[in-house]
Structure 1
Amino acid sequence: MLVDAGPLIALLDRRDRAHEACVEALKAIRTPLTTVWPAFTEAMYLLRESWPAQKALWSRVETGALTIVALSENDAPRMRE
């Protein structure tokens, strides 16, 4: 499942208003989460006040729970939509 920075942050930040909903949704998802480098970078930036949350996000990448895919020029037309 492709996720943007918002759900990544909500999964890790208990103060986020969407935290509970994202945690519950993740329980129902059977495939690894996938994101792109810009969304991952945005999430890391917005979690800058919490080293534990940043560490947890990196841990998801290291364990394979979150996959980061590269974007190419072929993706540009879709990004514009």
Structure 2
Amino acid sequence: MPRAAIVDTGPLVALLDASDSAHGWTIRQFRQITGPLLTCEAVVAEALYLLRSLRPAQEKILEWIESGVLVCPFVLAEDAAQVRGLWKKYADVPMSLADACLVRMSEKHDHHHVCTLDRDFTVYRKRGHEPIPLIIPPAA
């Protein structure tokens, strides 16, 4: 079944880096996603940094943003208090800024799954207690 998705750093990097161990899995998952991919600027910054040796991959991310394939609707200034609350709640994980933004996005975009390689998302909860619908590889 097609799914709408919020995308994390790992799948973005894996999709664009054929040497990444999750490349094949990510391609299969992205074929099932409908509509634009939602993300946040923190994820874009992480992905661009991790792809720093692959300039064409970095450019592809920016092209996707320009064309609307990848959309960054999240505005940290509007949700800073909620993000800070998540950061405090999951300080022992620890939670990155990108993860906190994606959890908050999952609260605001209720029908979207979070596509991630990060197993920390199995611990995170939206609205304090609800599991986040995930597109994630099976545990090894």
Task: Give the alignment's TM-score, normalised by structure 1.
Answer: 0.89
Residue 59 (str. 1) matches residue 59 (str. 2): no
Match in the other structure for 1:70: 75
| 1:76, distance to aligned residue in structure 2 (A) | 2.7
Residue 49 (str. 1) matches residue 53 (str. 2): yes
Taking the aligned partners of 1:17 and 1:59, their CA distance within structure 2 comes to 24
| 1:70, distance to aligned residue in structure 2 (A) | 2.0
Q: Unaligned 5+ residue runs, structure 2?
A: 91-140
- Residue deviations 1:26-48 (CA, integer Å, cap 9, x gap): 11011211111111100000100
- Percent sequence identity is 36
Q: Unaligned 5+ residue runs, structure 1?
A: none
Taking the aligned partners of 1:67 and 1:48, their CA distance within structure 2 comes to 21
Q: Give SS of 1:57's match.
A: helix
Match in the other structure for 1:8: 12
Taking the aligned partners of 2:68 and 2:83, their CA distance within structure 1 comes to 23
- Residue deviations 1:1-23 (CA, integer Å, cap 9, x gap): 11111111011010011111111
Q: Bigger relative contact order, structure 1 or 2, given CA contacts below 8 A and separation 6+?
A: 1
Pick the structure with more helix per residue.
1
Paired letter, 1:39: V
Taking the aligned partners of 1:19 and 1:70, their CA distance within structure 2 comes to 29
Aligned length, in residue pairs: 81
Taking the aligned partners of 2:85 and 2:57, their CA distance within structure 1 comes to 33
Paired letter, 2:36: P
Q: Give SS of 1:16's match.
A: coil
Q: Give SS of 1:15's match.
A: coil
Give the superposed CA RMSD.
Answer: 1.4
